[in-house]
């Protein structure tokens, strides 16, 4: 009789770093007595790892890309049940697939609920011993879950708006600092759309300087942020931790910040960037181009922004605006679609159509954004 239970955990090799998408979690301490934890390379899965005694595979997926990998396993192993939970199921993309495998079940229950434990009752843990040779000389990004929901949650293009989650905010970094995981650099990626004031106050002062630890988190440009950074740096007393500081600026003009319902002002972006420069933070940001409603004044304002912030951004990514399903902007331009976007059968949204004039203005804005930093990341499918 098949009795073995397996828990899949995904990792991927991204630009030379190993990203562990299932990081520290409550599931580990409860479930290590129920089944075996197996790491799966998301981009190059070993489809032969499931032996003949395996009856069921449990997996938490954060994206439709991970679900697709599970679907592929399920098709190859029709005698094994696959139970998928996690953010990809809790906040699902719309399914357009007609070939959803019969041996896959999705659940919105947490792992603890599924196995009748209380939520957050387990000891937080992680076991990377089976991939220790893969990670030993690498930068390894650990996911430290803070929150799934953004405390602002009102930007018109954002999938994080109104999405609940059952992730508990933890304020103790000891498990991260004391882990004996051996690798070149532990990058602690705080999984949250943005630290709120309390989280900043409680978590940031715990950061330590250590050669092999770097912290990585998202933050909004709210007015409290520069003050929080001042407080944080006083607490370090000269021993400055390594920090990757990510800001979602998107399009820094008065007109577009208002249109996006971004909830902060151009001035608060400038104040935040002054503070990150003051403390030499490695600052990353995203810009978005492809706005149907862009104006010539927006381009003038972008040029001014770039002049004023030159040298303050270490790394920028430029994305084309797309209108994801279940967002305000998806409704806005649904009669002006240039291209619908799918990922292997999962509907993701669409690129809005641009007039010739809007296309030119977006191109000009993009060229200014590219002057902000020496390191610019542009997705291949850009078209602007
Ligand atoms: S601040 Fe960021 S995470 Fe929050 S709603 Fe806006 S885009 Fe989404």
Contact 207, 215 (CB under 8 A): yes
Query: For 45-77, what is each residue's pLDDT tens digit?
Result: 999 999 899 999 999 888 888 999 999 999 999
Structurally, at CATH architecture level, domain 136-377 sits in Alpha-Beta Horseshoe (3.80)
Structure tokens at 375: 């390191």
User: Average pLDDT over the chain, rounded to whole?
Assistant: 88
167: which DSSP letter?
P
Count Cα atoms within 13 angstroms, Cβ side, for 219.
Answer: 31
Q: If 0-12 CB within 10 Å is exposed, 13-18 middle and 19+ buried, where does residue 202 land? A: middle
Question: CATH number of the domain at 4-114, out of 3.30.70, 1.10.10, 1.20.1630, 3.40.50?
Answer: 3.40.50
What was the pLDDT predicted at 104?
Answer: 94
Q: Is 95's pLDDT higher than 90? A: no
Which residues, listed in sequence order, are joined to residue 208 by a DSSP beta bridge? none
Index of the ligand 1 atom closest to the CA of residue 261 = 6
pLDDT grade, residue 116 (50/70/90)? confident
Number of Cβ atoms within 10 Å of the Cβ of 168? 12
**CA–CA separation, 325 and 119 (whole Å):** 30
Asked if residue 159 has its Cβ within 6 Å of ligand 1, the reply is no
pLDDT surpassing 70 at residue 23: no
Q: Name the band, by pLDDT with cuts 50, 70 and 90, for residue 213.
A: very high
Residue with the two structure tokens 């809007």:
358
Residues forming a β-bridge with 106 = 84
Which residues partner with 145 through β-bridges?
191
Query: With left for phi above 0 and alpha for psi between -120 and 50, is residue 261 left, alpha or beta?
Result: left
Q: Kindly report the length of the chain.
A: 384
Strand partners, 189: 143, 216
For the residues 174-189, what does the mean pLDDT come to?
A: 84
Q: How does DSSP assign 323-379, residue by residue?
A: EETTSHHHHHTTTSEEEEEEETTEEEEEEEP--HHHHHHHHHHHHHHTTS-SEEE--
Parse the chain into domains and list their residue ranges.
4-114, 136-377
Q: How far is the CA of 209 from the centre of ligand 1 (A)?
A: 29
For ligand 1, atom 8: residue with the closest CA: 158
pLDDT value, residue 150: 84
pLDDT given at position 166: 57
Note the pLDDT of residue 177: 78
Residue with tokens 């990922």: 343
Compute the distance between CA of residue 70 and CA of residue 22 in angstroms, rounded to an integer.
15
pLDDT at 180 over 60: yes
Residues forming beta bridges with residue 139, ordered by sequence position: 17, 185
Distance 155 CA to ligand 1 centre (A): 6
Radius of gyration for the chain, computed over Cα atoms and rounded to the nearest angstrom:
22
Highest mean pLDDT among 11-20, 183-192, 352-361: 352-361
Residue with CA nearest ligand 1 atom 3: 193
- Mean pLDDT over 288-302 rounds to 97
Does this model's pTM top 0.75? My answer is: yes
Distance between Cα 261 and ligand 1 center (Å): 9
Alpha-carbon distance values, 361 to 160, 205, 286 (Å): 28, 43, 18
pLDDT at 300 over 70: yes
Minimum-distance ligand 1 atom for the alpha carbon of 193? 3
Determine whether the shortest distance from the Cβ of 252 to ligand 1 is under 6 A. Answer: no
DSSP 74: H
pLDDT digits (tens, 9 = 90+) for 127-145: 888 999 999 999 999 888 7
95 vs 9: which has the higher pLDDT: 9
Which residue in this structure is represented by tokens 């078209």? 383
Pairing of strands 337-343, 346-352: antiparallel
Weakest-pLDDT range from 28-42, 257-271, 329-343: 28-42
Tell me which residue of 72, 48, 56, 76 sits closest to 8, measured CA to CA. Answer: 56
């Amino acid at each position: 009789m098949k009795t073995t239970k397996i828990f899949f955990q995904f990792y991927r090799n991204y630009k030379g770093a190993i990203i562990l998408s299932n990081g520290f979690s409550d599931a580990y301490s409860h479930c290590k007595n129920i089944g075996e934890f197996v790491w799966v390379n998301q981009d190059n899965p070993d489809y032969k790892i499931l032996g003949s005694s395996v009856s069921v595979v449990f997996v938490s997926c954060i994206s439709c890309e991970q679900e697709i990998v599970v679907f592929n396993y399920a098709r190859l192993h029709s005698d094994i049940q696959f139970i998928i939970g996690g953010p990809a199921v809790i906040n699902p993309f719309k399914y357009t697939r007609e070939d959803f495998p019969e041996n896959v079940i999705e659940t919105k229950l947490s792992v603890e609920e599924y196995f009748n434990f209380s939520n957050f009752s387990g000891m937080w843990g992680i076991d990377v011993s089976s991939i220790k040779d893969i990670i030993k000389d690498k930068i390894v990004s650990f996911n430290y879950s803070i929150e799934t929901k953004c405390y602002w949650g009102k930007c018109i293009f954002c999938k994080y708006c109104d999405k609940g989650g059952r992730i508990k905010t933890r304020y103790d970094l000891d498990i991260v600092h004391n882990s004996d995981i051996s690798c070149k650099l532990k990058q602690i990626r705080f999984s949250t759309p943005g630290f709120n004031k309390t989280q900043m106050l409680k978590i940031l002062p715990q950061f330590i300087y250590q050669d092999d630890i770097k912290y990585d988190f998202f933050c909004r440009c709210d007015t409290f942020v520069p003050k929080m950074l001042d407080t944080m740096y006083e607490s370090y007393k000269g021993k400055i931790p390594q920090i990757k500081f990510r800001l979602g600026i998107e399009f820094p003009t008065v007109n577009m910040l208002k249109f996006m319902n971004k909830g902060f002002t151009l001035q608060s972006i400038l104040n935040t960037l002054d503070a990150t420069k003051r403390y030499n933070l490695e600052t990353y940001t995203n810009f978005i181009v492809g706005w149907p409603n862009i104006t010539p004044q927006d381009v003038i304002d972008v040029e001014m922004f770039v002049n004023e912030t030159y040298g303050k951004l270490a790394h920028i990514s430029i994305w084309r605006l797309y209108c994801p399903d279940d967002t305000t902007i998806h409704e806005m331009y649904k009669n002006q679609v240039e291209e619908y976007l799918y990922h292997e059968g999962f509907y993701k949204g669409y690129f809005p159509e641009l007039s010739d004039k809007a296309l030119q203005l977006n191109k000009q804005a993009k060229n200014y954004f590219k002057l902000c930093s020496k390191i610019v990341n542009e997705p291949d499918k850009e078209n602007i």
